[in-house]
Amino acid sequence: MRNDGGALASTPEDAEVDAGDVVCAHPEEEVKQPKDAPSRDERPSMGWLARYCRHCERNPWTGFLTVFFTVLVMAVVVGAFGLAGFDTENDKEWVILDDEVTSRTDAAEAALKLRDRSIGKVAGAAILPREKESEGATLMFQFESKVDGRSVFNRESILLMKEISDLVLATPGYADVCQLAYDGEGENATSLGCVPPVSPLNYFFPTVTRHANGTVANVTNDGKGADLVTDIDAVVRSFDADRRGLGYFLDGGFDPQTVHNRMTRLKYPVGAPLRGFADNSRDEEKQEKKVGKLWLDAVEKALFERFGMSAGFLSSPYLGIPNERDVEVRWYAAYLRRRDSQRIINYDLAWAFASILSVWGYMAFSTGSVFIASLGMFEILMSLPVSIFIYKLVFRIAYLGNIQVLSIFIVLGIGADDVFVFYDAFKQSALVPHVKDNILDRVTYTAERASKAISVTSFTTMMAFLATAMSDVMPISAFGILSATMVFFLFVVNVAFFSPALMLYDRYVGEMCSCARLVGDKAANAEVRGSKPASVDESPTSTATLRAPALNDTARRVRAWESSEKPRASAPTPAKPANGGRVRRVTVNPFALRGSYAADGGDGSDDSTIDDAESGTKNFAMDKKRLRPVEWFYREPFFRFVTSPARYAILVAFVALLLYGAWGANKLEPPAQQEQWYPSDHMMQAFANEREGFANSDEDRVVVVDVFWGLDGMDVSKVNRWKPAERGELRLTRTFDASSPEAQTHLAGACDDLAAATCDAPGCEGGTLLRNGAAARVICPMRDFAKYQSALNRTFPAAKESFASEMYEFLSTKHGKFLRKHVGFEAANADGSVPKMFYYRVTADSSLKYPAVARTARPVFERWESVVDGINAKAPAGVNRAFSTGYWSWTWMKTQEALVQNTVQGLLLCFVMAFVVLVVSTADLRAGFLATVAIAGTVTTVMGVGVHGIMGWDLGIGESIAAVILIGLSVDYCVHLANAYVEAPAWMTTRERRTQHALMIMGISITASAVTTVISGSILWLCILKFFSKFAFLITATIASSFLWSVFFLPAALVTFGPLPDDKWSNLKPLFNAIIARCVGRR
């Protein structure tokens, strides 16, 4: 038996048309009706969607304008009340709120802020203007020799450094922002001027004073000399001799034998707090902007002009690193980086408009209708503001971050898929017999068929995004919730909006504007050739015969069709043929394409007959000319390919790909280096990449760790998770008491324990926990208090009764001024009595370089935990509950680990949910399992082959976010095919027929959707930020992988292993029907 009978319609609703239309039958034949067959006069029940379509047919403007203005009003509300404004990013939004490490860090910061409010009560306690170095506004340079074997410390290169340094220092305003040196302390301190730049030029251009006879009297290394030293190598060797102080100028590969040094660096310290600000740690962004206005912006402009740097179209002036005299020059300030980052983000987001325009153009081209494309784009664009309306006002989620902008790129593909499925269903409705020239029937057919296909994919995609909503990382969770809301909105509006819109299109738009007409759509009242079945005498059956009331009892005809019972004929009995032959009963396939099936001419040219035992019908041959090219491709050559012996090679190849992808995905782990946020040729990124290439020195930034006593974390029970600024209430240790002599001795000795601690973790430089080991910088208030007591001939430890007053007195002196934030006293009492001491802190420079990734920071963090636990173990009562915090370094470590953990959990959860949804939607275990394998193959191919194998990336932030998101993008295509296969007409009893049917009706929608999503994602390749370009790869790779797994593997698997209607063990329809019947019975 040949398999050349296909069909387009695939839903049970399609079966309720023309099934069992009797052209000729024996008059004496009596057919037994099924028990549940409705009476001939009974009107078939009408679902809510059919009723809605009927309402839209009667009142199209009401339905259209109701949806349109409802959406528009919600969008206007979002815009008018500023609900779409993105939150200003801070370092707390990515921190896991409900975590012990975060709780400690927040407690430390809250205690320091609380101390700030009370410290002003002490005379002279305020920090002097610009006495601290600003981490965000300090300007740094790197100079690197680009000639192999040539040191950067040569005459030409040093003179270039001098020119750049003179340009920086000559820019007006530096004296107003530089870090200041002071003589004295407190209110009696006097400024000595700017702290000298940290520069090798100080030693290459010293100020030399000479005696009258010309001999050198004094050499001051201040960089203000007029002449370059003659012995450059001697100066370089002096850098090597004092590695702690001057090693800052050497690279990590410095060769003391050849004195070869590839690159060097210098910095111009900017001071904080600026005048008018109380603290260097408060209002940092405002202080940095003020520095920019006073000096840094002008320096940047001068440097741009000096090196001829300018921004291209939607680009950054920092793309491209200046190279002069074979020396590469790079500069960096966190303030400049953040400003350029915001500029780049704005430029990159501009590409979103290009993406939207490209998708609209392809939709118009693919559908052949500007009207349909514009409706689809209206839905997609409105999905963001309307979802924000629901997200903020219904879900009461306050946070809206920059990462959620990615949602628009995702829903471009998802929304286009919904439009294509709806459009193709409407297009194919023109070829189904019962909807001939009837817009109500066409739209009803389209809405019922498309809504089911879209609902399954939308629900699965929503579940994938909701899996990200379970993340501990708040921005990821918020992204999942907003994206799921957008997918839901697209589904609802697609069903509600397209029905009245198509009514209006049919009534007005198509006649007024040919550019809006559906390409290939039939004209009004047009007949389509080949749409009528042939009667026994080869004459066409009349329209009146096909529309006779007795023949339009659709429910009866479908049941007769599906039960292979011969329907009771009430049409006039036809005359017997003149040749006395047997009158044949010819039945129209209810799923046939009107115009796509032609009667078999009986010449044997196209044997389309199927056994009566199989269906009791004669199927009509496919008129392939009526198919669109893509439909024909999937039905004919592609179907023959996937059903040929090549399918076994396809199955083996894709299983091998699944296994290799799983192996590669298992190799992914957090990055060993800091993630790159810019291209390698961006100056700021190149500067960051080379930071690790320098020798260690005391000028390098390391992770500063504080050890606290007296704090118990934060109470976050009343915190709104979606407001990063809310951190909870500070909890104090009720048993904290540092007044006993034993406690004082222990706290002084704890500093020695920290300095003596060893550390063999890779992140610990020199094998010690603190930088420089025993000579490390440790701020230890109790040890300084002991020296103060000794200077006053007092005993240490102090007596328990006098400890608080004597410590408070010490902090009020110039010797204890800088320790006031290390010993936390409450606000001064009104009666002049000594306030209560509520925390004690020790600060130390760890040997871990800043910044550090989780893989490097985790072993160092665990060593700190071990050392502090050892200190607590031997502590007396009252000071035995210390903890350490590395602030952002520790909390970011936890965030990175949470991203990886949530990725694994999210993937597992998504697979389970996808399998459940697929099994429920297909009502078949086997089909659900095969589709889930296709989804698993898509994910492992992208992550294992694409991310790990091809790109060589680690499991960073972008990859972690995309790993779960890509499941939502990968389910659509296989779900469409699996459902089309399972819901094929009952008379399609072979796997081949069902697979051909699924490919023909869904292949065109899948292809159009894949192209659209690839177009929208590919635009991101033009973005500057690496995160967006990574996302572009992940989107395009996901769509390409999903497409291949869906159209190659899944059809081959269905042809080989797919379920059949008579399979009992995997068919869940009887179970579902029984459950529904039981539930209905209870009601």
CB 108 within 8 A of CB 247: no
Examine the pLDDT at 770 and tell me if it is beyond 90: yes
Task: Report how far apart, in Å, the C-alpha atoms of 194 and of each of 93, 131, 179, 288 are.
Answer: 36, 10, 6, 18
For 603-662, what is each residue's pLDDT tens digit?
333 333 333 323 333 344 445 666 788 988 999 999 999 999 999 999 999 999 999 999
Across 392-406, 429-443, 674-688, 922-936, least confident range: 429-443
pLDDT score of 517: 46
Examine the pLDDT at 529 and tell me if it is beyond 50: no
For 558-591, what is each residue's pLDDT tens digit?
333 333 333 344 444 444 444 444 333 333 333 3
pLDDT score of 965: 67
pLDDT score of 1028: 80
State the pLDDT confidence band at 280, using cuts at 50, 70 and 90. low
Examine the pLDDT at 855 and tell me if it is beyond 60: yes
Strand positions, DSSP E, 651-701? none
Examine the pLDDT at 376 and tell me if it is beyond 70: yes
For 430-465, what is each residue's pLDDT tens digit?
766 555 567 888 888 889 888 888 888 888 788 878
**Burial readout 805-814 (b: 16 or more C-beta within 10 A, e: otherwise):** ebbbebbeee
> What residues have CB less than 8 Å from 983, skipping those under 6 apart?
10, 11, 12
Task: Report how far apart, in Å, the C-alpha atoms of 172 and of each of 139, 177, 298, 963 are.
Answer: 15, 10, 8, 50
Percent of the chain predicted with pLDDT > 90: 39
pLDDT score of 464: 77
The mean pLDDT of the chain is 80
CB atoms within 10 A of CB 603: 7
CA distance 36 to 16: 15
State the pLDDT confidence band at 791, using cuts at 50, 70 and 90. very high
Examine the pLDDT at 19 and tell me if it is beyond 50: no
Comparing C-alpha atoms, which of 337, 340, 346 is closest to residue 314? 346
pLDDT score of 212: 83
pLDDT score of 118: 64
pLDDT score of 119: 61
pLDDT score of 920: 84
Examine the pLDDT at 366 and tell me if it is beyond 70: yes
Identify the residue with better confidence: 367 or 1083. Answer: 367
CA 215 distance to own-chain centroid: 68
pLDDT score of 527: 36
CB 475 within 8 A of CB 960: no
State the pLDDT confidence band at 524, using cuts at 50, 70 and 90. very low
CA distance 989 to 978: 16
Comparing C-alpha atoms, which of 812, 828, 838 is closest to residue 111? 838
For 311-351, what is each residue's pLDDT tens digit?
888 788 999 899 999 999 999 999 999 899 888 888 887 88
CA distance 217 to 460: 82
**Tokens standing for 733?**
């240790």
Examine the pLDDT at 238 and tell me if it is beyond 80: yes
State the pLDDT confidence band at 183, using cuts at 50, 70 and 90. confident
CB 388 within 8 A of CB 84: yes
**Burial readout 517-546 (b: 16 or more C-beta within 10 A, e: otherwise):** bbeebeeeeeebebbbbbbbeeeebeeebb
Identify the residue with better confidence: 548 or 168. Answer: 168
Comparing C-alpha atoms, which of 478, 465, 473, 458 is closest to residue 396? 478
The winner for highest mean pLDDT among 510-514, 518-522, 615-619, 796-800 is 796-800
Comparing C-alpha atoms, which of 734, 743, 761, 722 is closest to residue 800? 743
Percent of the chain predicted with pLDDT > 70: 81
Comparing C-alpha atoms, which of 551, 425, 417 is closest to residue 487? 417
Examine the pLDDT at 209 and tell me if it is beyond 60: yes
**Tokens standing for 634?**
């999937």
Identify the residue with better confidence: 693 or 752. Answer: 752
CA distance 151 to 157: 9
pLDDT score of 343: 86
At 703, which helix (H) or strand (E)? strand 702-709
pLDDT score of 12: 36
CA distance 1042 to 967: 9
pLDDT score of 1083: 55
**Tokens standing for 794?**
């007092």
pLDDT score of 300: 95
CA distance 139 to 194: 14
The winner for highest mean pLDDT among 270-284, 328-342, 1028-1042 is 328-342
**C-alpha triplet 36, 41, 44: angle, nearest 5°:** 60
Task: Report how far apart, in Å, the C-alpha atoms of 861 and of each of 645, 703, 849, 1021 are.
Answer: 58, 11, 13, 37
pLDDT score of 47: 81
pLDDT score of 543: 30
Residues in the chain: 1083
At 328, which helix (H) or strand (E)? strand 327-332
pLDDT score of 216: 79
At 463, which helix (H) or strand (E)? helix 439-469
**Does pTM surpass 0.95?**
no
